[in-house]
Amino acid sequence: MRRRATRHLTLVLFAAVSLAACGKKETAAPAVQASAPSAVEIAAESDRVNQWFDAKYEEQLDFSPIQRTFLGEKKDYDKIDDLSEAGEDAQLQWARAAAAELKSNFDYDKLSLEAKTSYDVWLYQL
């Protein structure tokens, strides 16, 4: 009986060691890890993207004299929006180019939460 218990214990230990060996192997961490952006970097990139949004919004208003009027601007009072297919195509082409510019010129990971929201909304409305 004692021999059987020893054999059973040996099998259990062997199984436990075998299962432990099958576990996830730890790998060495990469030598260079990207660190989180500092508060200064986040503020700088967020300010930069917000200035870009302001400029692009002004450009976008050029497509809509009616919207300018709603905003109280006294510019282009003698014009209306170009509602033709060509006008819509031009606006879509501009929006696509602006989205590509946004993606290529700004680091999303260095934006504040508010700037990330603006970034996402800008791309979503495309």
pLDDT digits (tens, 9 = 90+) for 26-73: 555 555 556 888 989 999 999 999 999 999 999 999 999 999 999 998
Q: Are 37 and 109 a contacting pair, CB within 8 Å?
A: yes
Look up residue 102 and give its DSSP letter. H
Q: Is 26 inside a domain boundary?
A: no
Q: Is 30 inside a domain boundary?
A: no
- Name the domain count of the chain: 1
Residue 2 has pLDDT above 50, yes or no: no
Q: In whole angstroms, what is the distance from residue 106 CA to residue 84 CA?
A: 33
Residue 12 has pLDDT above 50, yes or no: no
pLDDT of 3? 47
Residue 22 has pLDDT above 80, yes or no: no
Q: Is 19 inside a domain boundary?
A: no
Q: Are 82 and 90 a contacting pair, CB within 8 Å?
A: yes
Over the chain, what is the mean pLDDT? Answer: 81
Q: Is 39 inside a domain boundary?
A: yes
Say which residues have a Cβ less than 8 Å from residue 112's Cβ, sequence separation at least 6: 42, 43, 46
Q: Is 7 inside a domain boundary?
A: no
Judged by DSSP in three states, 126 sits in coil
Q: Is 91 inside a domain boundary?
A: yes
pLDDT of 35? 81
Say which residues have a Cβ less than 8 Å from residue 64's Cβ, sequence separation at least 6: 81
Q: Is 13 inside a domain boundary?
A: no
Q: Is 27 inside a domain boundary?
A: no
pLDDT of 46? 95
Q: 95 lies in which domain range?
A: 35-124
pLDDT of 80? 92
How distant, in Å, are the alpha carbons of 37, 78, 91 from that of 84? Answer: 45, 18, 11
The region of weakest confidence among 51-60, 74-83, 95-104 is 74-83
